[in-house]
């Protein structure tokens, strides 16, 4: 069976973990943490990057930094992972779910303004499959209504948005705050792991405090204060040096990993585009978005046809899977949703299927898979 995903190891992970262990400093915010954070800041233009133990943790930090309180409203796409919403629910927010575009699982930027009330505090955008939302429009709306924009860039490492003036910016560097995942299903991984990115300088100082359990410990270790104590809310959001060391081995191979994934993605697209049956089911990449080859998916005409494709591929030795269940229809939130139909989010829930895509997959495997689809 060809799996849906297989974590890729570069070969240096255990070397760097051993180095971290032998250094005598394996708790968080050590040498490897700094190397990773410095790389992301320099490579992608984040004003500040802080590694976290998960993307969920990074989103929870966003909710705290945004000062979300009971009764505040946060606009979130319905077709996303639960963390995109629950981080704000935990702070007391009411989630106002937004639909997807008809031809793209991302949040429909054209309807966002209609969802804003005097209680709206933030807009969460999710760059599905590493493909950019319409950040130019979202940021214009946020500026007009004085709202914060939080980029859930869990799947979007090394992916970009191009503005109408030609400026190209990395996803996670455009909104006020961003969150990434290094879960084993992502392009670069640390098993579990994530990162908060801060692009508005007013949040940097507090982010470090929240990251370090509500203390000014980071300032103490930089020699900026002579003692540290409890100064704010927070939690233990930072990962150990073992996780950071693993991630550093992946970062060193980022270019090679991305090149291989893009090659595989393009092979899928090229082969399926020639098939009348599937050419209208292919992913849509808007002109303003780059493609980081995080995922290859098809959007089939019905849930029945999707089920048939999954079963057909399983019988041929390929593990294909569907994805999110629309959050507005979830058992936890259905009673709190305002009752609006979100037909596109529901369409992707019922019709989207993800095909195997991982570094060690090869083009022959993809050719066999496409052939088996018939």
Q: What is the pLDDT of residues 253-301, one digit of tens each?
A: 999 999 999 999 999 999 999 999 999 999 999 999 999 999 999 999 9
- Give the pLDDT score at 217: 81
Beta bridge partners of 225: none
Span 33-92, pLDDT tens digits: 999 999 999 999 999 999 999 999 999 999 999 999 999 999 999 999 999 999 999 999
Q: How far apart are CA 198 and CA 136, in angstroms?
A: 18
Q: Decide which of 222 and 21 is more confident.
A: 21
Q: How far apart are CA 171 and CA 152, in angstroms?
A: 9
139 burial class (0-12, 13-18, 19+ CB within 10 angstroms)?
A: buried
User: Does residue 226 surpass a pLDDT of 90?
Assistant: no
Q: How far apart are CA 267 and CA 368, in angstroms?
A: 12
User: Does residue 227 surpass a pLDDT of 80?
Assistant: no
Dihedral in degrees, nearest 10, Cα atoms 49, 54, 59, 60: -110
| Alpha helix segments (H runs only) across 6-54 | 13-22, 31-44
User: Does residue 353 surpass a pLDDT of 80?
Assistant: yes
Place of tokens 């007009």: 144
H or E element at residue 77: strand 73-77
Tokens of residue 167, six digits: 């400026």
- Give the pLDDT score at 317: 97
Helix, strand or coil, per DSSP, at residue 89: helix
The model's confidence at residue 220, banded by pLDDT at 50, 70 and 90, is confident
Q: Report if pTM > 0.95.
A: yes
Beta bridge partners of 297: 354
User: Does residue 222 surpass a pLDDT of 90?
Assistant: no
Q: CA of 273: how far to CAs of 269, 276, 364, in Å?
A: 6, 7, 17
Query: For all residues of the chain together, what is the average pLDDT?
Result: 96
- Give the pLDDT score at 228: 84
Tokens of residue 220, six digits: 């103490």
- Give the pLDDT score at 335: 93
85 burial class (0-12, 13-18, 19+ CB within 10 angstroms)?
A: buried
The model's confidence at residue 224, banded by pLDDT at 50, 70 and 90, is confident
Ranking 165-174, 221-230, 342-351 by mean pLDDT, the lowest is 221-230
Distance of CA 103 to the CA centre of its chain: 20
Span 300-336, pLDDT tens digits: 999 999 999 999 999 999 999 999 999 999 999 999 9
User: Does residue 221 surpass a pLDDT of 90?
Assistant: no
What is the C-alpha radius of gyration for the chain, rounded to an integer number of angstroms?
A: 21
- Give the pLDDT score at 57: 98
Span 133-178, pLDDT tens digits: 999 999 999 999 999 999 999 999 999 999 999 999 999 999 999 9
State the average pLDDT over residues 172-186.
98
Dihedral in degrees, nearest 10, Cα atoms 182, 307, 374, 362: 20
Q: How far apart are CA 236 and CA 207, in angstroms?
A: 12
φ, ψ of residue 307 to 5 degrees: the values are: -60, -40
Give the residue among 178, 111, 181, 97 at the shortest CA–CA distance from 141.
111
């Amino acid at each position: 069976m060809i799996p849906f995903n297989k974590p890729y190891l570069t070969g240096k992970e255990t070397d760097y973990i051993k180095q971290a262990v032998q250094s005598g400093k394996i708790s968080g915010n050590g040498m490897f943490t700094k190397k990773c954070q410095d790389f992301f800041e320099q490579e992608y233009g984040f004003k500040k990057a802080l590694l976290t133990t998960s993307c969920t943790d990074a989103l929870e930090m966003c909710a705290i930094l945004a000062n979300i309180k009971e009764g505040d409203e946060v606009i979130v796409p319905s077709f996303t992972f639960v963390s995109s919403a629950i981080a704000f629910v935990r702070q007391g927010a009411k989630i106002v779910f937004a639909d997807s575009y008809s031809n793209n699982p991302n949040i429909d930027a054209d309807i966002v303004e209609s969802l804003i009330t005097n209680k709206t505090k933030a807009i969460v955008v999710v760059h599905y499959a590493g493909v950019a939302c319409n950040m130019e429009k979202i940021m214009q709306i946020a500026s007009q209504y004085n709202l914060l924009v939080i980029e859930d860039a869990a799947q979007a490492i090394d992916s970009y948005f191009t503005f109408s003036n030609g400026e190209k910016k990395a996803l996670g560097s455009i909104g006020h705050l961003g969150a990434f995942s290094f879960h084993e299903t992502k392009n670069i991984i640390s098993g579990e792991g994530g990162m908060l990115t801060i692009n508005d300088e007013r949040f940097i100082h507090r982010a470090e405090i929240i990251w370090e359990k509500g203390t000014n410990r980071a300032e103490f270790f930089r020699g900026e204060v002579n003692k540290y104590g409890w100064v704010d809310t927070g939690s233990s959001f930072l990962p150990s040096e073992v996780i950071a060391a693993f991630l550093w081995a992946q970062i060193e191979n980022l270019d090679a990993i991305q090149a291989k994934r893009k090659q595989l993605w393009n092979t899928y697209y090229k082969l399926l585009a020639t098939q009348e049956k599937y050419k209208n089911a292919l992913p849509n990449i808007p002109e303003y978005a780059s493609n980081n080859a995080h995922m290859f998916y098809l959007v089939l005409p019905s849930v029945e046809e999707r089920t048939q494709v999954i079963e057909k591929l399983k019988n041929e030795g390929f593990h294909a899977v569907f994805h999110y269940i629309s959050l507005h229809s979830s058992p936890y939130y259905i009673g709190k949703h305002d009752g609006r139909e979100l037909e596109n989010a529901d369409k992707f829930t019922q019709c989207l299927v993800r095909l195997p895509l991982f570094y060690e997959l090869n083009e022959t495997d993809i050719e066999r898979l496409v052939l088996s689809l018939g």
